[in-house]
Amino acid sequence: MGPDYFLQNNVGIGTDDADPLKLSEEAFDHIMAVNLKGCLLSCQAVVPVMREQGSGSIVNISSIAAIAAAVPLTAYRISKMGINVLGHSLAIENAAQGVRVNTIMPGLLDTPMAVDTWATKRDIPRERIRAQRDAMVPLRAKMGTGWDVAYASLFLHSDEAGFITGVVLPVDGGQLTRVGG
């Protein structure tokens, strides 16, 4: 049957992100506002309703970049680690009322936004970026897709995951096993 209400927080930007000494305050504030504050505010809006009904499921999308070394994505990484912490806090504070909160950390995904952004930023052909990213994934040397994250989300929202809360689940084709997360 599943929870009466569920919330899927799936947003992430890294616009103008940089290494810590080059990151502008404006870029930092914008990335934090969209990625972390947006997630917090939507949770604040829905959790009281879920608590009142005695059930609910929240899945927040983070990134393995939160815990693995990554290219200069300082604010993005901080915002995604914040989502991990937010998920843990919400899970423990709302478990007694039947509200489950879990987090997914996707690894490299083969999406136009991810591949094309890096191809443009580095002025490298799209297929070369795709090949470089594929090579970083242990499982079949292929990036995942949005569907891989969607299936994990569906499971975490389902009755089959009714005893799961506070989890931070990598959906990364084994990337964290390679980089030591």
What is the amino acid identity at position 26?
A: E
pLDDT for 37 equals 98
| Confidence label for 58 from pLDDT (cuts 50, 70 and 90) | very high
Tens digit of each residue's pLDDT (9 = 90 or more) over 92-103: 999 999 999 999
Under a CB-based contact definition with an 8 Å cutoff, are residues 80 and 17 in contact? no
Tens digit of each residue's pLDDT (9 = 90 or more) over 114-125: 898 888 888 999
CB burial readout 15-54, b (16+ within 10 A) else e: eebbeeeebeeebbebbbebbbebbeebbeebbeebbeee
Q: Residues 9, 31, 62, 76: which is the catalytic one? A: 76
Closest CA to 4 of 57, 46, 60, 43: 57
H or E element at residue 171: strand 168-171
> Does residue 5 have an active-site annotation?
no
Output the CA angle 110-64-144, nearest 5 degrees: 25
Mean local confidence (pLDDT), 33-48: 98
Q: Which domains are delineated in the chain? A: 6-107+144-173 (3.40.50.720)
Place of tokens 């094309």: 116
Mean local confidence (pLDDT), 143-162: 97
| Confidence label for 109 from pLDDT (cuts 50, 70 and 90) | very high
